[in-house]
Amino acid sequence: MNLSDAMGLIREIPDFPKKGILFQDITPLLLNAQAFNVIITYMVNSSSHFDYVAAMEARGFIFAAAIANQSQRGFIPIRKSGKLPSDTHSESYGLEYGADTLQVHKDACAAPSQILIVDDVLATGGTACAAIRLIEKTGASVLKVIFLLEIEALAGRENILQQYPHMDIESLKKI
């Protein structure tokens, strides 16, 4: 199985979760062990040296934990407010329908660590920018941000590059 075959397993569900949305269901990809392995291997190999893999909950955790395991690197969970038990850095960000806050443990990483951030979907870029800011608060640097899917019409890539002009951003599939 190749990358194209693996990405081809993502099915489109019209009008979910509401009318007018064409939902990208990654479940068939996750159910196929060979396809999932192809995706994880590609993400590991497409990134240069990194010290840790970070992801925002929840679906980003699926990919980032597998990447961390395969690359023998640590995994940094970036969680919604109030979910981490130790001292945290916080970062609020805007959503299409409001605002939210993400947190990371203050001792999750430090300079000169290089971090790979992983998520399932790049939409508006707000969550990714908040995650980048959180990693920077620890003193570490974000090497790259990689996504399974990118919804081009929502201009998330442009929003990230507006704040971080030299950020390396990769998406395996653009829709």
Q: Which residues are catalytic?
A: 59, 96
From CA 141, how far away is CA 133, in angstroms rounded? 9
From CA 83, how far away is CA 67, in angstroms rounded? 23
DSSP for 47-108 reads S---SEEEEETTHHHHHHHHHHHHHT-EEEEEEETT--SS-EEEEEEEETTEEEEEEEETTS
From CA 116, how far away is CA 113, in angstroms rounded? 10
